[in-house]
Structure 1
Amino acid sequence: MTPCLTHLIEAHFGSASVRAPVDFRVLLPSDWDRGESLPLVLHLHGAMSSSASLELARPLYDELWRRGELPRAVVACPSTPTAGGFYLDWPDAAWETLIAHEFPEHVAKIFGPFKATALIGASMGGYGALKVAFAAPERFDAVAAVSPAVFPGEEPRQVPARNIPSVLGELHAAMAGGAGDAAAYAANSVYGRLRANADAIRAARLPILIDCGAADEFLLNEGADYLHGVLLELDIAHIYRLVEGAGHVGPAADRRTLEAIRFIGTALTAG
């Protein structure tokens, strides 16, 4: 058996942003030295998941480290809830603030300081990664979103009912404050962040990857295609991959995640 090149740590900390303990996992190079300054990769999990998703992705990170296609880095993933979370700031629990600021600051106190920061996320995590990166593009060195939970429309009423089943409908409603508030929706949407910060995103030359399966069971491919169109409209450089025959999960999922991590690795190496 090929030995792991990473060391996995499970821990928790008391979060002021969400007023509760938050579990998290961290991957480190097995020979990490406390005096070493590395980049940070924030790995955001999808709906109905937890920081355990980083443990599942560990073989992919190991493989790319072994190939030299991902630089030595600290990879960290906090557990966030789906309902009442969604990487949104709620009145009693600011989950976006947690992932954008408090959690990376906490991890930096233990394993930092970091010389660069990148974001990668899948599904709900892809939505969170894009939203956070587009809000402050100067802070990040790359963002990769696999099957991001984005919709084909920029206002609540523009999104067809077929694109917001089940938990996606809950996210859609929560983005609008539960009351169809267009201003709240824009503030919480990837498109709203894109349009508000387009100049800053272009100036930062933020490397952006959008990857989605063309046969996504939740029709997230339609949202990804819409996002691709908005990025083109705003003349923001990005890579868009629509993978024929691929669904939201399935046989291609690991390969696509591997490619997204490789994209992050290339950006961090170039930076």
Structure 2
Amino acid sequence: MNPSRIELGELAVDFAREGGVPYAVLLPPGYDSGGPYPLVLFLYGGGGSRQTLVEARSVFEQCWSMGSAPPVVLACATVGEFSYYLDHPDGRYRWERFLSEDFPRHLRATYKVRPDRASTALLGISMGGYGSLKIAFQHPETFGAVAALQPITEPGFRATDAGERNHLYFIGGGPEELVGPKRNPALFEANNPAVRARDNARAILEHGLAIYLEAGDADALNAHDVAEFIHRVLWDLDISHEYHLVRGADHVGPSVVPRLREAFVWLGAALRRAEEGEAPEDAAIRGLRTHLEGARAAASEQDPTTLRRFGVLPPSR
């Protein structure tokens, strides 16, 4: 089988005066003889570029060689080192729209990728984790799955909810309208993944968006506060998701590669289920649910939350 390969290109956009948006595409082994494939957009963290995908190539290749993830086409666009995947209010750039519309459309016309929502996913780290969540929560009709590692923003719904503990990421910079002391609170909230999950919960549920969320519990930028808050928001909204708080892991360092690999394996499984359909229900599960059916119905008459996926929990303190 032919090895994987990287292809580089540029995509012209109406908001770029010179040249186009550089991008990299990682094609899986055997690409030329197979397909069409699922499409995964890879969103890098602060300071990154399309080169981030090139450098992470071995992580995805290892998953393919072990058979732990299906072949997919991965694509990464250079949208600025600290753009936060923002559509600027004055229209000088529109990175969210680029990633949710322009870029997928170009990739579908250029490569052997499937056009459907269920076969299109987002995978992001840090700033890219934030970007992947806010885009997926706003556009669940476009993306079937999202995996976000250590999303970097702030816990809470409002710009005033977090203190200096959660402003450490300001040192990296970014659009001053979004990041830092001069930001526009309304713009921050409009781009907040937690706000988008809350406001778009019905569409997220109706489309069955598959969600993976994780962070290390020793994150120097305290991104684990963000992940925990979004987890609780999704829990309270009764939105199914998978959540990992990785013991001893930081924002950078040796834990990042295995965590990225684990997220990619999860994403591959979600894409595979979308293609093949859910496996038949296990007999033991079916038996347990049948056995509890009467008890659950009776309990729901006294407590309607019984039929939710997640319980309505009392305060923890």
Structure 1: unaligned runs, 5 residues or longer:
none
Q: How big is the shift at 1:112?
A: 3.8
SS at match of 2:141: helix
Q: Partners of 2:55 and 2:195 in 1: how far apart? A: 32
1:242 aligns with 2:226: no
SS at match of 2:52: helix
Is the contact made by 1:176 and 1:184 (CA closer than 8 Å) also made in structure 2? no
Q: How big is the shift at 1:252?
A: 0.8
Percent identity among equivalent residues? 36
Q: Partners of 1:210 and 1:220 in 2: how far apart? A: 11
1:227 aligns with 2:230: yes
More strand by share: 1
Structure 2 vs 1, CA of residues 188 and 7 (structure 1 numbering), >3 Å: closer, same or farther? same
Is the contact made by 1:156 and 1:176 (CA closer than 8 Å) also made in structure 2? no
Is the contact made by 1:149 and 1:168 (CA closer than 8 Å) also made in structure 2? no
Is the contact made by 2:73 and 2:113 (CA closer than 8 Å) also made in structure 1? no
Aligned residue-pair number: 268
Is the contact made by 1:4 and 1:62 (CA closer than 8 Å) also made in structure 2? no
Q: Partners of 1:40 and 1:29 in 2: how far apart? A: 11
Is the contact made by 1:18 and 1:98 (CA closer than 8 Å) also made in structure 2? no
Structure 2 vs 1, CA of residues 4 and 213 (structure 1 numbering), >3 Å: closer, same or farther? farther
Q: How big is the shift at 1:14?
A: 1.6
Q: Partners of 1:191 and 1:112 in 2: how far apart? A: 34
Q: How big is the shift at 1:168?
A: 6.1
1:95 aligns with 2:98: no
Q: How big is the shift at 1:265?
A: 0.4
Q: How big is the shift at 1:153?
A: 1.6
SS at match of 1:236: coil
Which amino acid counterpart does residue 167 of structure 2 have in structure 1?
A: I
Partner of 1:130 in structure 2?
133
Larger CA Rg, structure 1 vs 2:
2
Q: How big is the shift at 1:221?
A: 0.7
| RMSD of Structure 2 on Structure 1 (CA) | 2.2
Q: TM-score, normalised by structure 2?
A: 0.79
SS at match of 2:177: helix
Structure 1 segments, 4+ long, off by >6 Å, are: none
Is the contact made by 2:152 and 2:169 (CA closer than 8 Å) also made in structure 1? no
Which amino acid counterpart does residue 94 of structure 1 have in structure 2?
A: R
Partner of 2:111 in structure 1?
111
Partner of 2:199 in structure 1?
196
1:1-271 → structure 2 map (5 Å cutoff): 5-20=3-18, 21-33=20-32, 36-83=35-82, 85-90=83-88, 91=90, 92-115=92-115, 116-167=119-170, 170-171=173-174, 174-175=177-178, 180-271=183-274
More relative contact order, 1 or 2 (CA 8 Å, 6+ apart): 1
Q: How big is the shift at 1:173?
A: 5.2
Q: How big is the shift at 1:150?
A: 2.9
Which amino acid counterpart does residue 84 of structure 2 have in structure 1?
A: F
Q: Partners of 1:55 and 1:239 in 2: how far apart? A: 27
Q: Partners of 1:133 and 1:68 in 2: how far apart? A: 27
Structure 2 vs 1, CA of residues 112 and 137 (structure 1 numbering), >3 Å: closer, same or farther? same
Q: Partners of 2:15 and 2:100 in 1: how far apart? A: 11
Q: How big is the shift at 1:170?
A: 4.3
Q: Partners of 1:117 and 1:130 in 2: how far apart? A: 14
Partner of 2:304 in structure 1?
none
Q: Partners of 2:219 and 2:205 in 1: how far apart? A: 29
Q: How big is the shift at 1:114?
A: 1.7
